[in-house]
Amino acid sequence: MDRYDLVILGGGLAGMCAAVEAGEQGANVLLLEKQDELGGSTVLSSGYMAFAGTDMQEQTGIMDSTESLVADMVEVGGGVNDQTLVAAYGKHQLETYQWLVDHGVEFRALEAVSGHSVPRGHIIDPHQAIQSLHRRVKQLPNVTICFNAPARRLLKNAEGRIDTVVYEVDGKEKKALAARGVLIASGGFAKSEELLNHFAPQLKGALRIGGAGNHGDGIRMAWEHGAWVQDLPYLNGTYGFHPTAAGPVKSQGLAFYKGAIMVNQQGKRFVNESISYKLLGKAAFEQPEQISYQVWDQTVMDKSVFDDPLYDFELLKRRRLLYKADTLEELADCIDVPLEVLEDTISRYNQGVLNGEDSDFGRTSLTHNYGKPTPIEKAPFYAFESTVAMLATYAGVSVNAAAKVVNPFGEHIPGLYAAGEVTGGFHGAGYMTGSSLGKAAVFGRIAVREALSEKAVV
């Protein structure tokens, strides 16, 4: 059996940050990737990362702080997220941003996104990020990446410490000894019908978008050894996808965070559109036939951001995914909602905007506490049929702030670490955009530092 200091399961952002960190510390590392390429859900993502106090924010005059980031995360998580994990994120986030920059990851823009009080969504091209980290790994002879090599099971030694990974290559079973630790970085289970049906039957009918290998293997392997799990009751889809959306082709638009409203097939609003798009997804799924539309006017359309993964509404128009109409009458006709109801909905909404008080749903901002809504009044008008996609399962294996996997009593399962989407506890009841890529990078590196400080098994 080959011997390594660390065996990492999964080559998404968490696994790749960990591989680079461990390799640079001189550790002998094996990274197992189930697919024939790196990237998992990471490379399908919109690329927003949540960091505060960065040079990019400073250059655009945005005042921000770790304290504000942490406070937003706790608020978005409904206060039930593990505060020690959120605090650890706060402690390491800025240094992680700088580490990524130093390792060639390019941050190209900043946007206000779900759950942030200020523009804090730092956008990467996830392919570029993974390629950069991969380039660095190739310079490190002590790091080996093995493709098409799914990890199957973990084994404990006589002292009860996890020290062996059973995996498969070319249909043959192999074993690797992990002398200092095993890091599970195998992502979530957005592609496992079995686990989704088991843990989130309410999401039947939601689109499934996520890394092809994300079947929750890591959760099963950790569970077998007594890992506790967290946040499963809060599994929600993400709102804002066109019903035809599938895979990497972008068919997502979050016009509601630029001022659109959401209406159901009856032409009625049903939610405060500034809240987390996870919670919007939940509300949208409760509408008749689960059908809803984002509706906006030219004022919102003018806020379209070229080449942005979430806000490029002009791209949606070019792809013929939008209805465009010169009058509300025409728009109501396009989406088959009763005109008088739609007119009344928009008129009430506009009145609320002018009065500074949305008496129906309490909307006072564009997203979270940021930005002011505008009336929907300037033709042409647009509608975008939108639905919910299960793209990331922000729930899973319990870890402590040192990325050590813990059992139901909060005790570390010796030798076992986890980072990235496979973990639970961090997001709590709600998800703030950018915090999942963020946590993958932050906790991937924390896990390595902790594991390498352990005494090696002999």
Residue 183: strand, helix, or coil = strand
Query: Which region, judged by CB under 6 A, interacts with ligand FAD, from 39-47, 91-99, 265-273, 370-378?
Result: 39-47
- Cα(440)–Cα(89) distance, rounded to whole angstroms? 10
Whether 377 and 301 have beta carbons less than 8 Å apart is answered as: no
Whether 384 and 316 have beta carbons less than 8 Å apart is answered as: yes
User: In angstroms, what is the minimal distance from the CB of 79 to ligand FAD?
Assistant: 21
Selected from 82, 217, 385, 450, the binder of ligand FAD by CB under 6 A is 217
| Closer to ligand FAD by Cβ: residue 15 or 181 | 15
Segment 290 to 309, residues that bind ligand FAD, using CB under 6 A = none
| Closer to ligand FAD by Cβ: residue 247 or 408 | 247
Residue 381: strand, helix, or coil = strand
Does residue 44 belong to the site contacting ligand FAD (CB under 6 A)?
Answer: yes
Query: Which region, judged by CB under 6 A, interacts with ligand FAD, from 36-44, 288-296, 348-356, 407-415?
Result: 36-44
Selected from 151, 227, 295, 335, the binder of ligand FAD by CB under 6 A is 151
| Closer to ligand FAD by Cβ: residue 216 or 373 | 216
Q: Which of 399, 427, 439, 395 is nearest to 196 (CA)?
A: 395
- Cα(418)–Cα(209) distance, rounded to whole angstroms? 23
Q: What is the DSSP letter of 170?
A: T
Does residue 54 belong to the site contacting ligand FAD (CB under 6 A)?
Answer: no
Does residue 47 belong to the site contacting ligand FAD (CB under 6 A)?
Answer: yes
Question: What is the CB neighbour count within 10 angstroms for residue 287?
Answer: 17
Question: How many residues interact with ligand FAD (rule CB under 6 A)?
Answer: 42
Does residue 9 belong to the site contacting ligand FAD (CB under 6 A)?
Answer: yes
The full length of the chain comes to 458
- Cα(48)–Cα(437) distance, rounded to whole angstroms? 7
Question: What is the CB neighbour count within 10 angstroms for residue 170?
Answer: 7
Whether 77 and 429 have beta carbons less than 8 Å apart is answered as: yes
Contact map string, positions 163 to 192, toward ligand FAD, x by CB under 6 A: ----------------------xxx-----
| Closer to ligand FAD by Cβ: residue 9 or 401 | 9
Strands, sheet with 121-124, edge to edge from the N-terminal-most edge strand: 48-50, 121-124, 107-111
Contact map string, positions 412 to 441, toward ligand FAD, x by CB under 6 A: --------xx-----------xxxxxx-x-
Does residue 28 belong to the site contacting ligand FAD (CB under 6 A)?
Answer: no
Does residue 46 belong to the site contacting ligand FAD (CB under 6 A)?
Answer: yes
Residue 238's φ and ψ, nearest 5 degrees, are -110, 130
Burial track 314-332 (b if 16+ CB lie within 10 A, e otherwise): ebbbeeebbbbbeebeebb
Segment 74 to 113, residues that bind ligand FAD, using CB under 6 A = none
User: Which residue ranges make up the site for ligand FAD (CB under 6 A)?
Assistant: 9-15, 32-35, 39-42, 44-48, 150-151, 185-187, 209-211, 213-214, 217, 391-392, 420-421, 433-438, 440
